[in-house]
Structure 1
Amino acid sequence: MSLQIAKLHPLFGGGVTNVDLSKPISQDRIAAIQAALDHYAVLIFHGPKLTEEDQIAFAERFGPLEGQNGVLSTNATRISRKLVDISNLDEKNSVLSAQDRRRMFALGNQLWHTDSSFKRTPAKYSLLHAHTVTPEGGETQFVDTRAAYDALPEKMKARIETLEAEHSIFVSRGKLGFTAFSDEERQANPPVHRRIVRVHPGSGRKALYLASHASHIVGLPVPEGRMLIHELMEHA
């Protein structure tokens, strides 16, 4: 049976209605999901609530998991270390205090970003599971940076074709005033360089590779590079 996908936006995004992620999924169905991701970029799966084991089993069909090899040096966790907890709860399921480093760090997720662009190995996919949806706030938004690239003037495309940006998790957190990282945490997460224009392997389309983690453009004066990053992100 083919995937049943409802288009959610004129340019990207699809809602899948006939896949139950809590049950075993054939390799043919996984291949169909990958093809749909290449086309739609974002898929929303409707179905029963998943256990941690369900989410891990599904995610591992697409490759090795990044897991909690994060930035903050803490071993406290309320979920499997194969998953990343982006909630506002601590290891005892209590709401994090306003001064908790984990809460202050997580605030950076509210900025526009590309997941793990600052890591040595960037993420290929992100699989989010909402256990509890709040009545207001907490929305997650997505943008198709392939469409954003397509909409650029040809002159801008030529200008940025070979440029690289330096990415660091400490840049995005610093924008919100959180700079209290230890030397060990900083040394464990050195900055990386990423091409601003990348070819999406599944669709073959060029895409902008941007994030609030991006500090500056390699080889350009810092003010000029940062203004360019800002311009491209606003465009996207």
Structure 2
Amino acid sequence: MDIIPLGPGFGAELRGVTLADVASSDEAYAAVRAAFEEHSVLVLRDQDVTDEVQLAFSRRFGPPEVTKVGSQGTGSHFVILSTIGPDGKVVPSDHRMQMRARANQLWHTDSSFKRVPALTSILSARVIPDQGGETEFASTRLAFERLDPEMRHRLENSFAWHDYAHSRGKIAADLASPEERAALPPQCWRMVWRNPVNGRGALYLASHAYAVEGMEPAAGLKLIEDLAAMATAPGTTYLHAWRKGDVVMWDNRATMHRGRPWPSHEARLMVRTTISAIEADGVGTMRPPFWQAAE
């Protein structure tokens, strides 16, 4: 397997390995897992992707999430990110599916609003627009390392609240349904998590985060926004231009990402599997400590 660096200090393309290899070979899995811990974002191109192959690959990294209420794919292990309606046509620009796509264009970390957040997300390109629709990544690990020592120490002892309805409310007040609000109450997490393999710290924030424990609300939100802006400053991100057959996986403990716009009349279909931050043996991958700081 060859590892080709992609981004400014993070991200890599893996060549000479397939999803099926990782699903069936302990040696291939170990090599890809090591690259994942080191590079945070991995790109595998020209993959023969089916739902079955993607899920088998995904299971090597831990237990897959069950897709939440209100999403395409609810109750399965797949999140369907699509603007294609039941009739096979692209839905109008004011359709809820299009609005949810716009919400994903905010910088975010998958599943930070859940009781068990995510280790990794694995996204495959099924139908891509002729232009636009890229996914942009930022390393919150490198962002943390750019901070001065005093701020790093402060943040290691700070906690932020995350809420799905908060980020969706930036697009439309009712974009998060009552069922989603009931199923996804706010969660409180450390603002810095350390990788259990290499010990490197990373910021944990983005658009779902709305408050800092112990801070006045406006001040806490400003801190979150300032840190996110610093982490995503020009020259610090990797923009992935999709090709059919691409599979990209990223470390939700150490990155933020966002979708980029595309013409609303062009179809886009992506399929995501998301792996909980609990290994198969029940050990958390985001400790210490892994669980909530406050109720």
Residues 168 and 175 of structure 2 are in contact (CA less than 8 Å); yes or no, is this contact kept in structure 1?
no
Q: Which residue of 2 is the match for residue 68 of structure 1? A: 67
Gaps in structure 1 of 5+ consecutive residues: none
* 8 Å CA contact 2:164, 2:176 repeated in 1: no
Aligned runs of 1:164-175 on 2, under 5 Å? 164-175=159-170
Looking at structure 2, the residues matched to 98 and 10 of structure 1 have their Cα atoms a distance apart, in angstroms, of 34
User: Which residue does 2:76 correspond to in 1?
Assistant: 81
Partner of 2:197: 202
**Which residue, out of 143, 151, 167, partners 1:148?**
143
Q: Which residue is equivalent to 1:226?
A: 221
- TM superposition score normalised by structure 2: 0.73
The percentage of aligned residue pairs carrying the same residue is: 40
1:170 alignment partner, SS class: helix
Cα deviation, residue 100, structure 1:
2.9
What code does the residue aligned with 1:127 have? I
Measured on the aligned residues, the alpha-carbon RMSD in Å equals 2.0
DSSP 3-state at the match of 1:232: helix
Shift of 1:67: 3.3
Question: Structure 1 residues 119 and 62 mapped into 2: Cα distance closer, same or farther (>3 Å)?
Answer: same
What is the aligned length?
230
Which runs of structure 1 show a deviation greater than 4 angstroms over 4 or more consecutive aligned residues? none
5 Å matches for 1:1-236?
A: 3-22=1-20, 25-70=24-69, 72=70, 77=73, 81-236=76-231
Instruction: Name the TM-score, length of structure 1 as normaliser.
Output: 0.90
Considering fraction of residues, name the structure with more helix.
Answer: 1
Letter in 2 for 1:47: D
Letter aligned with residue 82 of structure 2: S
Greater Cα shift, 212-221 or 14-23: 14-23
- State the match for 2:266 in structure 1: none
8 Å contact from structure 1 (residues 22, 48) kept in 2 = no
Per the TM alignment, residue 180 of structure 1 is displaced from its structure 2 partner at its CA by 4.5
Structure 2 SS opposite 1:125: strand
Q: Distance in 1 between matches of 2:197 and 2:127?
A: 32
Asked whether the equivalents of residues 117 and 123 of structure 1 are also in contact (C-alpha less than 8 Å), the reply is: yes
Q: Distance in 2 between matches of 1:197 and 1:139?
A: 27
Larger relative CO (CA 8 A, sep 6+): 1 or 2?
2
Note closer, same or farther for the CA distance 1:122–1:80 as it changes in structure 2 (3 Å cut). closer
Q: Which has the higher strand share?
A: 2
- Higher deviation after alignment, 11-20 or 89-98: 89-98
Structure 1 residue 105: Cα displacement: 2.6
CA distance in 1 between counterparts of 2:75 and 2:178 reads 27
User: Does the 8 Å CA contact 1:166/1:217 hold for their aligned counterparts?
Assistant: yes
